[in-house]
Amino acid sequence: MAENEFKRILVGVDDSPDALAALQYAIHRAKDDGSELIIASVLEDGEMNVYQALTKDYVHGERDELEAHLEKYVGLAEEAGVEQVRAVIGEGNPGEVLVKTITPKYKPDLLIIGAKANKGIAQLMGSQAAYMAKHSRISVMIVRE
């Protein structure tokens, strides 16, 4: 492996512009390095109210929508020429799930995530990207939109 090549790249995605920018970079990097690309998204249970969390049809619908997005992203990677692509779904807090659950299970060399530049109080409180950069045991690349 050359100094700047990665064997397995994990990219965390949702449908935000900064996450899509991270996905585009991850696709480019995986193709150039001949890496496996793992595209991960997290079903955030904190965004559901109690009724929604207890309604199986709601949770199932949210998961189906997430799976459809991931299938689309896998297709984009394959069309770009990435040979090994897989999609992964986690549940919970995105930063924690990516760092504490998905990373140890799939053992990537690099985590790529998107982030937008927050201003004011949001900047002081931190973000998912800051959490992942601080707590990840692998290299983290933060892509700004």
pLDDT tens digits for 63-115?
889 999 999 999 999 999 999 999 999 999 999 999 999 999 999 999 999 98
- Domain range annotation of the chain: 8-144
Q: What is this structure's pTM?
A: 0.83
> Phi and psi (nearest 5°) for 15?
-100, 20
Q: How confident is the model at residue 145 (pLDDT cuts 50, 70, 90)?
A: confident
Fold of the domain built from segment(s) 8-144? Rossmann fold (3.40.50)
The span from the CA of 20 to the CA of 6, in Å, is: 20
- Buried/exposed code over 88-101 (b: 16+ C-beta within 10 A; e: otherwise): bbbeebbbbbbbeb
